[in-house]
Amino acid sequence: MNVRAALAPARPAHSSHAANAPAAARDDALDGMRAAATLLVILIHVGAQGFGRLGERHWWAVNAWESMARVSVPLFFMLTGALLLARSHTVTSLGRRIWRVALPLAAWSVLYLLWFRHAGQHHENWPALIVAGPVVGHLWYLYALIGAYVFVPVLAAFHQHSSVSIKLFCLLFWFIGATLVPLEVTFTAARTVGVDWAVLPLYAGYMALGALLYHGLPALPGARLRAGAWLGWALLSAAIALATWWRSVTLGQSNETFYVYASPLVALSSVAAFVALRALGAAWLPAGSRRQRAVAWFAATSFGVYLVHVWVLFVLEGYGINYRFINPWLGVPLLTLAAAALSALLVGVLQAIPLVRAIVPR
């Protein structure tokens, strides 16, 4: 959902001293990508209920939308890398970033536990429960983001002091170790090569990849590369959907092997989506335009939207509004937009309240 770094207003870093330099101009293309990634996360959660219904008539609608949206979380980590790895960092600056994630995480964990209690679900020892892990599914990302922030100085040093060839070399073996080998183990319960690939963390690789793409490619590349990125995203999304259908039918139940963020198809699709969405933002969001202002506003609320949208979906579900309130081919995207709009309006109100805004920071 990278939450302070990937959901905060995007600012490019032009040198290793950017953390000590005056704030740079806003990067509207990254704001656009952040807004799109936020919508895609919501879309995943809207369709989640229907994925387990393999025999349902409209299962393919859910599968298609979910397959296209699986790039969302990788995009968040790639945005974090794009924004942070060219900067210098201190213990103090990293502490501030971690705090700006940890405080909302604690606050929203308590709020969701209160909601569960209201719904009749009671949990004991809330502090231990929150420390141990997410009390509601989507909050896992904030725990992962805290870990990513701790690792940022290592990745920043790698990004700033390594040649492009070294970066590509490491990312090639990251792709093998973090995506292909886990898939091999899933299917065979064994590894052909006995190398221990645990040194290549999945989300750290996405961060390094995002920095490489952001600083190595123009925001608006040539027409062929743009077309190739959109086509690649579409074809890889179709491949994810078909592979998911095949695996699910083979096992006799819905299976997410090709949905996970370690899936090689998801990793490749995320590269294509990053290039395509950045180019779209660069071309479609001219400074000062209404579109640019609207996207910038939504991007400023998107951290809060990520936190609150699941509660909005809970409330809507209570009124019988879910992914199949109409034909899911239309219902999934329409409910996604409705939930995003309601969440953004709620977050906008919360951001206007002193002290409260700390749990939905921009």
How many distinct structural domains can be found in the chain?
Answer: 1
Residue 2 pLDDT greater than 60, yes or no: no
H/E element, 265:
helix 264-284
- For residue 186, is it within any domain? no
**Position 19 pLDDT exceeds 80:** no
Question: Model confidence over 253-274: pLDDT tens digits?
Answer: 999 999 999 999 999 999 999 9
- C-alpha 71/C-alpha 269 separation (Å) is 7
Q: Are 3 and 101 in contact (CB under 8 A)?
A: yes
Mean pLDDT for the chain overall: 91
- 21 within a domain of the structure (yes/no): yes
What distance in Å separates the CA atoms of residue 221 and residue 279, rounded to the nearest whole number?
7
Residue 344 falls within a domain, yes or no?
Answer: yes
Residue 99, classed as helix, strand or coil, is: helix
Whether 211 is covered by a domain: the verdict is: yes
- 99 lies in some domain: yes
Q: 49 falls in which pLDDT band (50, 70, 90)?
A: confident
Q: How much is the average pLDDT of 98-122?
A: 95
Whether residue 140 lies inside any domain: the answer is yes
Residue of 195 and 67 predicted with greater confidence? 67
Residue 131 has pLDDT above 90, yes or no: yes
Confidence label for 99 from pLDDT (cuts 50, 70 and 90): very high
Q: What is the pLDDT of residue 25?
A: 58
Residues ≥6 apart with Cβ < 8 Å to 201: 151, 178
In a domain, 189, yes or no: no
**193 within a domain of the structure (yes/no):** no
Residue 322 CB neighbours (<10 A): 17
What tens digit of pLDDT does each residue of 309-360 get? 999 999 999 999 999 999 999 999 999 999 999 999 999 999 999 999 999 9
Other residues' Cβ atoms within 10 Å of the Cβ of residue 36: 21
Which residue range is the domain that position 353 belongs to? 4-157+205-359
Token pair for 291? 């579109």
C-alpha closest to that of 281 among 22, 31, 21, 5: 31
